[in-house]
Amino acid sequence: MEAPLASAADIPSVDRLLHRPALAPLVARHGRAQVTSVLRAHLDDLRRAALAGTLGRSALTEEAIAPALETKLSASERPRLRPVFNLTGTVLHTNLGRAVLPAEAVRAVVEALTAPVNLEFDLDSGARGDRDALIEELLCELTGAEAATVVNNNAAAVLLTLSTLASRRETLVSRGELVEIGGSFRIPDIMRQAGAKLIEVGSTNRTHLSDYAAAIGARTALLMKVHTSNYAISGFTKSVSVAELSELGRAHQLPVAVDLGSGSLVDLTRWQLPAEPTVRATVAAGADLVAFSADKLLGGPQAGMLVGRAELIRKLKKSPLKRALRVGKLTLAALEPVLGLYRAPEFLPQRLTTLRLLTRAPAGMKAQAVRLQPIVQRALGAAYQVRDEPMSSQTGSGALPVDQLPSHGLVVRAVKARRGSLDRLEAALRALPRPVIGRAADKALWLDLRCLEASDEEAFEAQWSELRL
């Protein structure tokens, strides 16, 4: 028996429907304006179906319309910024928000959001305070620097440095250090934006101290070193150390600034991680200013840190750009407890999320992979083969670029290699309630378990029943 068809004239009015009891709870929850707009769009759809001769009468009852609206309203209210599972194997993944913060930092952010705070208010004197003062002392203690300030990110720290110290004058940088980070940060571009003239010294693979010395002239304002974060040059190479460059700077009374990129507040080799220059060692070697990110190896919120000589930091803080690039209270709230963790470095691998992930033992990840393999295999079905295999993760965000960390995870391959089957699988994983992001390579999908902590495993297991392949 065919369902009775409706015509466009049978479609009830928006006004009449809005007053029906089935829609009342929707109006109470989502507000009249949103329900009206979704209802209008829904009735337009019904009208089109009626004109095409495909609209059944049953679709016109309020009992049919209300749930359809509810589905659309919930979908439109779902947050756009959502938690995902980062199984890419890149711990500090810029596209996935870089460092995940420890619980102390999250608590501090919630408190700072919930109540007024002494952001720029000196509780001792009752006078106006300086927001940087909240973390300056801690940063100086951890780096050995005289003074410190903080801005929106490391790109901002470099921009502020160049604009304040080298505007309309020359900055010397080695050709081997004119790097691009993640497509949007290029040293020559930042230099231009800051109004500083870039003087390239040396060659791509070799730069000597004499190259800098020869380029110093009356218009030179700054000597700069950039940590070549995301690539390495090997072979016949030579670069000038911070100590050598600082000595040259002192002889000519020119400040030396170092963009350390990730930089680290502790020596990572004590946990068998690849060496990365520490901020303290860079300051000790004589750098006058050191800029670094707070959300890379440091493991904190997005921010750019600047530490160095008091007189230079004072100049930076007086620049109008500093006001434009300053951080908000949420950043400072998160930063303070993260920096605090560095006071007890021996506990960092437990307490600092980033370091905990970087130092995970492959054996633990292997056990996890063996446990999860049957669950994922069952969910993906016979068209895919899921195996637990060793793999390599990376730190990411330009830190420790060459060295890879031994890791373990699941590798998914299509049993019959049909075109698009891996793309389909990736799309299905992204459509899960908490999207799963892996890494496609060599005709397989690699799910690196390094960033799946035990506390997340239950949520990870629970959602496979919702996979729609």
Q: Which positions touch ligand PLP (CB under 6 A)?
A: 153-155, 181, 185, 226-227, 229, 259, 261-262, 293, 304, 397-398
Q: How far is the CB of 29 from ligand PLP (least distance, A)?
A: 40
End-to-end CA distance of the chain: 33
Q: How far is the CB of 463 from ligand PLP (least distance, A)?
A: 31
Nearer to ligand PLP, 229 or 407 (CB): 229
Q: How far is the CB of 358 from ligand PLP (least distance, A)?
A: 17
Nearer to ligand PLP, 254 or 400 (CB): 400
User: Which residues does residue 409 pair with via DSSP β-bridges, in sequence order?
Assistant: 389, 448
One-letter amino acid of 238: K
Nearer to ligand PLP, 181 or 447 (CB): 181
Give CA 374 to chain center in angstroms.
32
Residues 6+ apart with CB under 8 A from 111: 117, 333
| Backbone CA torsion sign across 445, 448, 453, 454 | positive
Q: How far is the CB of 239 from ligand PLP (least distance, A)?
A: 14
Nearer to ligand PLP, 368 or 397 (CB): 397
| Backbone CA torsion sign across 316, 317, 322, 327 | positive
Q: How far is the CB of 230 from ligand PLP (least distance, A)?
A: 7
Give CA 80 to chain center in angstroms.
16
Residues 6+ apart with CB under 8 A from 346: none
Q: How far is the CB of 113 from ligand PLP (least distance, A)?
A: 23
Nearer to ligand PLP, 79 or 183 (CB): 183
Closest CA to 349 of 241, 436, 271, 457: 271
**Angle subtended by helix axes 32-51 and 62-77, to nearest 10:** 120
Q: How far is the CB of 259 from ligand PLP (least distance, A)?
A: 5
Nearer to ligand PLP, 153 or 368 (CB): 153
Nearer to ligand PLP, 134 or 155 (CB): 155
Q: How far is the CB of 181 from ligand PLP (least distance, A)?
A: 4
Question: Which residue is listed with tokens 């031994």?
Answer: 406
Question: Which residue is listed with tokens 């109540």?
Answer: 115
Q: Are 98 and 92 in contact (CB under 8 A)?
A: yes
User: How does DSSP assign 36-102, residue by residue?
Assistant: HHHHHHHHHHHHHHHHTT--BGGGGSHHHHHHHHHHHHHHHHS-SS---EE-SSBSS-GGGTSPPPP
Nearer to ligand PLP, 86 or 397 (CB): 397
Nearer to ligand PLP, 86 or 293 (CB): 293
Q: How far is the CB of 191 from ligand PLP (least distance, A)?
A: 12
* Helix intervals (H) in 238-347: 242-251, 279-284, 310-318, 320-325, 329-341
Q: How far is the CB of 290 from ligand PLP (least distance, A)?
A: 11
Closest residue by beta carbon to ligand PLP: 261
Nearer to ligand PLP, 88 or 395 (CB): 395
Q: Are 289 and 309 in contact (CB under 8 A)?
A: yes
